[in-house]
Amino acid sequence: MSGVDASPEPCLPFNMVGKSAAFRRLEDLIRKFASYDAAVLIEGETGTGKELAARSIHYLSARSGMPFVPVNCGAIPDSLIENELFGHRRGAYTGASESHHGLIAQASGGTLFLDEIDALSPKGQVTLLRFMQDQEYRPLGSAQPENGDVRIVAASNADLLKIESAGDFRADLLFRLKVLSVELPPLRERQGDVEVLAAHYIRQFSLKYGKPVKSLDRESLAWMNGYEWPGNVRELEHLIHREFLLSDSPVLTIQRKINGADRRKRTDRRSVDLGVGFCSAKAQAIADFERKFLQQLLAQTEGNVTRAAKLAGKERRALGRLLKKHGLDRHHHSF
């Protein structure tokens, strides 16, 4: 069986590769963004490579010799937001026995990458906005303001404009973050890039594990090109990684994933069983919808139940009961 084993050189830093028109447009934008020292907002589905795009912008820019500091906004407690961003001086509060540089000072001269910016609390949004207005901040316990020479790059897998319209994100902060913006294309819209990426990852894992380069058989590639990839590039990388390690053959044959595209196609073609009665059929349809909705919600939020509840417009406890009803938990977002 013939195989696919061509491995292109990365088009951008950090193994960002592709040949599709959508990827070429993204490449052009990243290079343009790198040449301008302005705030950038990167949006896109989970697994599309938002942090890789942010790193590429940084390391192609004039700030490349300075730090790139990533932070997950959803992991910063609301009570510590100012301390995390601005730092503190010794004695600023009980237990502050030493001075501490905040994230802005750590990224001085470089780039501060704010991932999951949509998870930033209202207090955090005000704190960040205040800094972005004049690039000045005051460490806790300090009487003197300091200048923070950093470039802000933010990312979100949610539509910030919709969140802002719902009143959950400040419009003035969104405008400051969105001087330059890009939405990363999902893998299903990158025609031809599945083959390119698969070959690239095979080459990577060959070097990493000291094993011979393997090819990908045509039937597997045909299935992969028709799959929707809800986890996008990250899902493809993990799939190739697993199959590369487990296969003893020089040609990788990837089995179809019954929980993926095939199941969706079967569901779409399924007819209604008229013998069960209207009420039973309706209850089953609702249950199927709920389970599919919850699975997609967990995938989009990478298993973060708090964020999932926020996106669904439900209380966290109510969403938890619904997850339990369908036998799901936060680990059911991987593919």
Instruction: Single out the residue of 218, 228, 300 nearest to residue 264, CA to CA.
Output: 228
Same domain, yes or no: 170 and 232: no
Helix 305-312 vs helix 278-300: crossing angle, to nearest 10: 120
The CATH number that applies at residue 102 is 3.40.50.300
Same domain, yes or no: 100 and 218: no
∠ CA 232-264-50, nearest 5°, is: 15
Same domain, yes or no: 141 and 85: yes
pLDDT digits (tens, 9 = 90+) for 73-99: 988 888 888 888 997 666 567 666 677
Q: What is the Cα–Cα distance from 52 to 304, expressed in whole angstroms?
A: 21
Assigned token pair, 263: 């199941």
Same domain, yes or no: 77 and 174: yes
Same domain, yes or no: 48 and 167: yes
Task: Note whether residue 279 is domain-resident.
Answer: yes
| Residues 47 and 184: beta-carbon distance below 8 Å | no
Confidence band of 176 (pLDDT split at 50, 70, 90): very high
The highest-confidence range among 184-188, 267-271, 314-318, by mean pLDDT, is 184-188
pLDDT digits (tens, 9 = 90+) for 34-77: 999 999 999 999 999 999 999 999 999 999 999 999 999 988 88
CA 1 to chain centre: 36
pLDDT digits (tens, 9 = 90+) for 236-289: 999 999 999 999 899 998 876 544 444 444 444 444 555 545 555 666 677 778
Task: Note whether residue 31 is domain-resident.
Answer: no
Assigned token pair, 186: 């999902």
Domain span at residue 109 reads 39-178
Same domain, yes or no: 58 and 142: yes
- Which residue in this structure is represented by tokens 């934008």? 29
Same domain, yes or no: 199 and 127: no
Task: Note whether residue 333 is domain-resident.
Answer: no
Average pLDDT in the chain: 84
Q: What is the Cα–Cα distance from 204 to 192, expressed in whole angstroms?
A: 19
Domain edge (last residue) among 200, 221, 252: 252
pTM above 0.75, yes or no: no
Confidence band of 335 (pLDDT split at 50, 70, 90): very low
The CATH number that applies at residue 246 is 1.10.8.60
- Residue 12: how many CB atoms within 10 A of its CB? 22
Alpha helices (H) in 166-270, listed in sequence order:
171-177, 193-209, 218-226, 232-246, 261-269
Assigned token pair, 162: 């919709």
Tally the C-alpha atoms within 13 A of residue 219's C-alpha that lie toward its C-beta: 7
The tally of domains found in the chain comes to 3
